[in-house]
Amino acid sequence: MLEGSILQQLETAHRHSTRPIRFGVYYKNTLVSLCHALEDHILGDDDKPLVITAFQQGKWYLQEAERYADIAQHSREIVIMAAPDAGFAEHPTSLLQNVDLVALDRADSVAQEWHLIILSPNYTAMVICQELLAADYGSSGIPTSDLERKFYGLWTFEPELVQETAEIAIAHIKKYNPELANKLIAHREAIVPSIARLENLGTVVSRVVDYLQAEQDNLSIPVALRQQTLDRNLVSNEIQAFLRMAQLLDTADVTNPMAAAEVVVLAEAVAQLLDLPAWQIKRLRLAALLHRIDPLQKAESVLTSGEIPAHSQEEAPSCPLIPGAQVLRTMPRLRAVAQIITHQTEWWNGTGEPAGLAGDEIPLESRILSLLADFQWRVNQRKSSNQSREEIFTQALDECRQQQSTRFDPKLIDTLALLVMGLQQGLDLPIMTPKVSSGVWLLDSQWDSYSKTSEEIGTYYK
């Protein structure tokens, strides 16, 4: 990372923290799609966000200047940092009252970065990265195709991280324009992003996935291997969009902030007891990570306009058109996961929703998720009690058992009982979290793609 850059300052601040930042490598076409999706969301939103950007060179700003004139009409303030070029300050957009330019010194490391930071009352988002140096490309050298240029960094919706990055950016701006920095501080303090209104975030996620999907469909590169690499990067980021939202959903639930991670580890243990094949375990793992995306169920896909392809309906004819699962279905590799999530609220006796499926008609992974999500919730409810972990597990299992053959698959209750017996006898199930910055591993990588969290919160699963 470039010394003194915003990316480097952010990494340094988190290097020894309990939540170190996981960076990834992104192709330019992926970042363009991400930024356009986030920018276009501003155009359709009335929240008047604060927007801080950094362009590597003034010429990149000039390509987007007309677009930013429209964005300015929907923003409270826009700050654009870039190294100066001819015509940079003369463009009409630069003269708008709520648009401020910061001409960076050519020696300033931030002049080599690409940032988009959005602070809105109802959501936060950012893309922050810098291009790989010539040496980073290795023997292949700097790519000749603009689409294949690579950038190191991250993108996220996480409010605390976005606000922290905004503070670092404002401090950097203060070196050039203290008055502007003070105005930005006032704007930032006036905006109190709320992670409680996740319906808005669901729309943002939907738009991001749509734009990435559109870019994937529009790739036109003559060499098949190069197109496959770019395509893989886009697919990875589509998955990341859902995973990042799932993480925020857990964060928003202060009473059960590790629900998804704990359901994942329980699901994998049950899958092993059932001797499920590796491909099915992987699919169950991803469904468990995403099983709480309720706000996304209310967010229609921006580009698909409420429709899903006919072949998707044929593959899952019993799935109602629930918008959240529908957005997942726009990705061919996630259609099975969408079906699992859709049917986790079915009941064994056929009285559940949304399709009224009964018994073995309900996908096995859906039945597993339904039971384990309920079990995890019951265990979590009792964590602050004075009961021993053995008593907590026993009581949670007994309450689940009372619903066997009505809500839950009785065979799975027996499997859960075996798992509980193991937990009571000291079975260790350390909680693991996925590397969100490389989301494709959830589809086709090996078990070692997991990385342990700094605190293995398996207090009740160890």
Percent of the chain with pLDDT over 90: 34
Give 177-191 pLDDT, tens digit per residue.
999 999 999 999 988
Homologous superfamily of domain range 243-460: Hypothetical protein af1432 (1.10.3210.10)
pTM for the predicted model, two decimal places: 0.67
pLDDT for 461: 59
Asked if residue 320 has pLDDT above 60, the reply is no
Asked if residue 351 has pLDDT above 50, the reply is yes
Asked if residue 457 has pLDDT above 50, the reply is no
Asked if residue 255 has pLDDT above 90, the reply is no
CATH 3.10.110 fits 6-194, yes or no: no
Measured CA angle at 350 (ends 408, 381), to 5 deg? 35
- Mean predicted lDDT score pLDDT of the chain: 77
Give 85-116 pLDDT, tens digit per residue.
645 677 888 889 999 999 888 889 998 889 99
pLDDT for 202: 64
Percent of the chain with pLDDT over 70: 71
How would you classify residue 149: left for phi > 0, otherwise alpha for psi between -120 and 50, otherwise beta? Answer: beta
pLDDT for 438: 43
pLDDT for 385: 82
Q: Where are the domains of the chain?
A: 6-194, 243-460
pLDDT for 212: 67
* DSSP 8-state code for residue 179: H
pLDDT for 167: 96
CB within 8 Å of 62: residues ≥ 6 apart: 85, 87, 88, 91
Asked if residue 447 has pLDDT above 70, the reply is no
Q: With CA atoms as reference, report the closest residue to 338 among 372, 361, 315.
A: 315
SS (H, E, C) 296-353: HHCCCCCCCCCCCCHHHHHHCCCCCCCHHHHHHHCCHHHHHHHHHHHHHHCCCCCCCC
SS (H, E, C) 55-117: ECCHHHHHHHHHHHHHHHCCCCEEEEEECCCCCCCCCHHHHCCCEEEEECCCCCHHHHEEEEE
